[in-house]
Amino acid sequence: MASVESFIAECRIKGIKLTGQRRVIAQVMVEGQGHPNAEQIHADAAHQHDRISLATVYRTLRVLRDAGMVIEHAFPDGRCHYELAGRPHHDHLIDKESGAIVEFCDPEIERLQQAIALRLGYRLTGHRLELYGVRAR
Amino acid sequence: MASVESFIAECRIKGIKLTGQRRVIAQVMVEGQGHPNAEQIHADAAHQHDRISLATVYRTLRVLRDAGMVIEHAFPDGRCHYELAGRPHHDHLIDKESGAIVEFCDPEIERLQQAIALRLGYRLTGHRLELYGVRAR
DNA sequence: GATCATTTGCGAACGGTTCGCATCTTGGAT
DNA sequence: ATCCAAGATGCGAACCGTTCGCAAATGATC
Ligand SMILES: [Mn+2]
Ligand SMILES: [Mn+2]
Ligand SMILES: [Zn+2]
Ligand SMILES: [Zn+2]
């Protein structure tokens, strides 16, 4: 999802009604980076639109999540964090000291998860893998 | 942790003051099985002790968690689930249909996680791995 | 531009967990 | 066994992130 325009276009295709607030949230998600929580997204959005509530941010994120355009992560800080969907799959390493979030993808681990589920008699439908660590020095 | 007696003994060694309520919670955790949440633990405990509040269950679980005697899991149902510590490390597969929780441990995945963290410049301090799936048929 | 379904802001409600406080219990000292 | 200070308990209220209800505003369709 390179541009706000294509994101907006995808909304239209999926029948998601576009409002001023939603355009701003779309822009924040597309042009921003990292894994912001709702409050941070609201703060960024409020910077460009003086009439936007936290409830609308939550509602819009839910719409986008249900449309598969945004991914929601329940990280261990007790809040939900969001990122654009449509990028290649990856998991996260969280720096316990700085809070920094590092993305990674390991095909071997992905493969092993499938194998483990199968061995246990299950078909894998999803997974959550988070590594916690501190800078090695 | 085979018996309630040894669990209680460990509490004493660690300077955890023992009360009627704590003994009952200890028994529920040692003799019960699975990954109960606080409400379920409270229900089980209330069965053996007619004066025990949910707040005390939470407080006791926190004490036991901080003492390393109980592990707390934030599963995606939005509640914390608890299990006895001291058993070999394992991760969990959650049946999305029945809610059943299957334990597994894969040394290869454990090793890969260390390797990935290292490759990213981190020393691994912990991880969370949950697989979600449905019965293969 | 009129219409009507949808969306919005606001503040209240929600649900799991924690807290404050007065009261009770425990474990060590006598 | 009894006393006492330290700590634990029950109760209900508070907390915090998220969701909801509703009246008012807005946007897609005509
Ligand atoms: Mn990511
Ligand atoms: Mn387990
Ligand atoms: Zn993955
Ligand atoms: Zn593991």
Mark yes or no for CB contact B108/A112 under 8 Å.
Answer: yes
CB B104 within 8 A of CB B93: yes
Which element (helix H / strand E) includes B130? strand B122-135
User: Does any strand C atom come closer than 7 Å to the Cβ of A11?
Assistant: no
Average per-residue pLDDT for chain B: 97
Pair B80, B26 in one domain: yes
pLDDT for the residue B94: 98
Pair A70, A112 in one domain: no
Pair B29, B70 in one domain: yes
Pair B21, B76 in one domain: yes
CATH number, domain containing residue A45:
1.10.10.10
Task: Provide the pLDDT confidence category of residue B1 given band limits of 50, 70 and 90.
Answer: low
Pair A78, A99 in one domain: no
User: Does any strand C atom come closer than 7 Å to the Cβ of B20?
Assistant: yes
Which element (helix H / strand E) includes A95? strand A91-95
Separation of A87 CA and C7 C1' (Å): 29
Task: Provide the pLDDT confidence category of residue A112 given band limits of 50, 70 and 90.
Answer: very high
Pair A34, A54 in one domain: yes
CB A135 within 8 A of CB A95: yes
Pair A53, A103 in one domain: no
- Boundaries of domain holding B29: 4-84
Pair A50, A19 in one domain: yes
Domain count, chain B: 2
Does B2 have pLDDT greater than 90? no
Closest CA-bearing residue to C1' of D28: A17
Q: Give the ranges where chain B is alpha helix by DSSP (H).
A: 4-13, 20-31, 38-46, 54-66, 107-119
CATH number, domain containing residue A105:
3.30.1490.190
Pair A96, A60 in one domain: no
Question: What are the tens digits of pLDDT across the range B32-45?
Answer: 999 999 999 999 99
Pair A105, A66 in one domain: no
Task: Provide the pLDDT confidence category of residue A1 given band limits of 50, 70 and 90.
Answer: low
Pair B38, B96 in one domain: no
Which ligand neighbours the alpha carbon of B89 most closely?
A: 4
Distances in Å between the Cα of A135 and the Cα atoms of A14, A35, A130, B120, B128 are 42, 20, 16, 9, 18
The residue behind tokens 């996260």 is A92
Supply the pTM of this predicted model: 0.95
